[in-house]
A and B are shown apart, each in its own frame.
Chain A
Amino acid sequence: MTNSAQARNTKAENALELSDLSVAYRVAGRNRAVLRNLSLNIKQGEAYGLVGESGCGKSTVALTVVRYLPRNGSISGGAISLDGQNVMKLDGEALRRARAESVSMVYQDPGKALNPSIRVGRQLTEIFELGGITGQAATERAIAMLNRVRISDPPSVMQRYPHQLSGGMQQRVAIAMALANDPSMLILDEPTTGLDATVEAEVLDLIAQLRQELSASILFISHNLAVVSNMCDRVGVLYAGMLVEEGPTEIVFNDPRHPYTVALLRCLPRGGQRKDQGRLDTIPGFLPGIGADIKGCAFADRCALADDRCRTELPPLYDLGGRLSRCFYHDKAQSLPRATPSNVPAPAPKPAAAPVLRVAGLNKTYASHGHALRAVKDVSLDLRPGETLGLVGESGSGKTTFARLLLGLVPPDDGGTIELEGKALAPKLENRGDDQVKAMQIVFQNPDSALNRSHSIRHLIGRALKRLAGLRGKALEARLNDLVRSVRLTDRHLAVKPRQLSGGLKQRVAIARAFAGDPRIVVCDEPTSALDVSVQAAILNLLADLQAKEDVSYIFISHDLGVVRYLSDKIAVLYLGRIMEIGPSEQVFSGPHHPYTEALLSAVPKLDQTETARIRLDGEIPSATNPPSGCVFHTRCPRKIGPICEQQEPPLSEAQPGHSIRCHIPYAELARLQKTVVAEPA
């Protein structure tokens, strides 16, 4: 092992070299460029991050390096050198050996990456068998590997099938498989996308620790700038298959020199920014489609700094001393004017108004294999007009069930009440009056599956207006145009079908539809988590604007705490169906907060690298069929104080006006504990 590592070190300075790489996909009989003359080097032992919006070619880079392009993809030029070895010249057998020995890849969605019908152990041992290690020896190596990725009880895990593991465990197994052959190059393609924040933090920690133990160089691909900023030494920003900026991570993110990087960073709600402090910036326009004919700078169409030169002449990669920028005006990139004015007034909620929604003692128990599964337990809260309630918690915490109860999609257990504007709501949707139905609407995560593919946008929104607002003829036409403009779609979009629109535009249609009946409350279930950051910013701005205009209330579900913080006035933190903490957004975020909230916040990768000591949650969220005794969080609580936590469930008690916490630790004590952590230097 050490011999081969030494051999590698002497072999090539760079673990990976891409020079002038061009890749095209054949679509509708034409070759369309996806990567355009891309050059980048990753040094031995270095972690290199590749960022950019979806469609910019990030994953194509990864697949090209391992020569696993889709059937219609082809390398049209350039060279790839892996450890000094020209990957493009390898024949079948040599390529197989390169994959077996020197390069490994981990990608998004571990549930799909593992073979569903083969036991985890077998999927690991077959890698060792390639190296001639069989039988008991291979099993032992597999156990050692699983230990290395911090999986407890590897022998039992090896006997299981992938579907019997949680998402975080699956990704650990995938990482173990990738590291089993001690590769010199590890490619991580969105390895934590789709995982819960706490699980994401665990996996990232694991990768960071393994980096110190292993010699592997890393190519880390992610749309999440904060993740890359925490993980990587250097970062490359990809746009339309071209490298537009590259340099040491900290420098690029703190002092970007390309307008695209500048704009991308401005789209993120940072440093606790909130909707009443101004709008997020957005990037106008769209990424050029694959194969688009690009004459000048690829970003020129969306760049406020662009002039005629940018549109006609391709800027070279300027070397700015250890960093690169593909912009003629790299010295003034940061003066890029905002695309969205920041100073949009957002009226503060009127606390005096009567609540539009009041929920008291809401429970939901499902029967699951003869066990009672308490998805929502004893939830009470209220929501005022024009207010946003953010719901946070890991998956399985009951956020979505709670939303479904409100909407009447599932009936709650007997006893709980839901009141809308002072009137009790029937538990089932079909027993609710028309006014009540249209007063509460939902925007889903995935606009694709929420919009009927075979209808035009005009039909989709028009139908909602007909059904929810009861409009016909001229009135409908007028309201339709109004609505379309308020979600910033144009007439041009009305005639097309959903599939012809981008994800962000589709989400606008879904929002327009939800607003068709002048709702009082809109439930937003992860409305931006499938979208790119620039599109996300536009949707968040839109939601904030609509709220300011219509005085509508939101129930906003998201795993992205930065997003929740931006939009919410009030936060409820759920764990195993219970409210662990509820209160004004700023108080919940700034603390003192419930230990669970503390852990959630600590798990979020931040762009601003002022890391405080991280708090990690061990293990999985317990099963709701058999919740822990006492405080349900005690099994994972880093601040457990003693037997009382195991025996007695703490009440949700009001610590400050409007801010309640379900914890045995007194508020003052929480304040003291959490202050010390914050004060500690990282």
Chain B
Amino acid sequence: MVFLGGQVLPGNVGRAILGPFADQRAVDALNHTLGVDRPLLTQYATWIWNFVRGDMGTSYIFRSPVAPFVIDALGNSMKLAAVAFVLVVPIGILGGVIAALNLNRPLDRIISLGGLSVTVLPEFVTGIILILIFGVWLRWLPISAAWPKNAGFFTQLYYLILPSLPLFLVLFGYIARMARSGMIEALDSDYTRTAVLKGLPWRTVIWRHVLRNALLPTITVIATQTGYLIGGLVVIETLFRYQGIGSLIFTAARGKDFPMLESGILTIGIVYAVATLIADFLYSVLNPRIRLGSDQ
């Protein structure tokens, strides 16, 4: 898919690299060196085969192997995603749980409505607002995510807080909403009634009987959102001038650097698939019905 998209898009690779004034023969020669004049299917086969072997090809623009760029960028993106993730998962779940326990009371409305409102705002809007507040007005946090060279862990963390906030806001609504509906369902269930009627203290009912069943579906949502966290960073990374995979793809797309673009997107695809796999695995570990199968 990614591959085809790259091919169908208008624009001649050689022309893009050499510029509009280059000689047509030079363009053709370059195209030939790059292999872009070969039949599509051959190109695709070669590309996939090389990717599997760890060779992501040679960047059209940098004239050097793509792999180091992609790996570097992926590492950076993962850092950013990890910060956002660590922030949003516990807080999102907590928000959802609190909302469900206060169903239809003011606290629930504030969390549900607030979560939904910040979720529907695109991250470039929240991003700019946050930059204005914390970076420009309060001057608490650096507005760029590019930390100085050789920065230690905490410095890096300090630089990553502001960029991760818009991601936090987008995901918070989703996760809180899932956690809330999971909680409501579990609270209304017969087994919760059983637990309450056993005379268990309310806290035990929630911790032991409700939470685990309530949060199972939330895990799946979080996993899908992890894919988004890694992949949907284009805007944030561009906004905060951060060398992650999102901005890498963005640059590659503008420069028609297809090997870079394709490898970047394929990498995101793989990360997405792995995240989903981990979620499914986690889900089955937590859910005895899937883990043990049915005896009947």
Contacts and interface: CB of A to CB of B under 8 A. Distances in A.
Task: Report whether chain A binds chain B.
Answer: yes
Interface of A: 66, 68, 71, 92, 96-101, 103-105, 107, 109, 112-118, 126-127, 130, 161, 163-166, 174, 177, 181, 623
Contacts of B292: 161, 163-164
Interface residues of B, number: 28
Nearest to B296: A166
Given A163-B289, A164-B292, A166-B296, A115 B213 contact: yes
Nearest to B289: A163
- Pick the most buried of A112, A115, A130: most chain B CB atoms within 10 A of its CB: A115
B194 A114 contact: yes
B84 to A, nearest CB: 29
Interface string B217-229: 0000000000000
B288 interface: yes
A161 B197 contact: no
A163 B296 CA distance: 9
B199 A163 contact: no
Contact of B294 (A66, A71, A163): A163
Given A109-B190, A112-B190, A130-B198, A118 B208 contact: yes
Given A101-B199, A117-B212, A161-B289, A126 B204 contact: yes
18 contacts: A68-B193, A71-B103, A99-B196, A99-B198, A99-B199, A100-B198, A100-B199, A103-B197, A104-B197, A107-B193, A115-B194, A115-B213, A126-B204, A130-B198, A130-B199, A163-B292, A177-B194, A623-B296
Contact of A113 (B191, B204, B213, B296): B191
B5 interface: no
Contacts of B287: 116-117
A118 B210 CA distance: 11
A113 B199 contact: no
A619 to B, nearest CB: 14
Nearest to A112: B190
A127 B198 contact: yes
B286 A112 contact: no
Contacts of B190: 107, 109, 112-113
B289 A66 contact: no
B94 interface: no
Given A126-B204, A166-B296, A116 B191 contact: yes
Contacts of A164: 292, 294-295
Nearest to A369: B293
Contact of A116 (B195, B196, B200, B288): B288
Nearest to A97: B199
Contacts of B213: 115-117
A168 to B, nearest CB: 12
A117 B199 contact: no
Contacts of B20: none
B196 A68 contact: yes
A174 B194 contact: yes
Interface in B64-105: 103
A216 to B, nearest CB: 15
A179 to B, nearest CB: 12
Contact of B191 (A98, A101, A112, A165): A112
B198 A126 contact: yes
B209 interface: yes
A174 B191 CA distance: 10
Contacts of B199: 96-101, 127, 130, 181
A85 B199 CA distance: 16
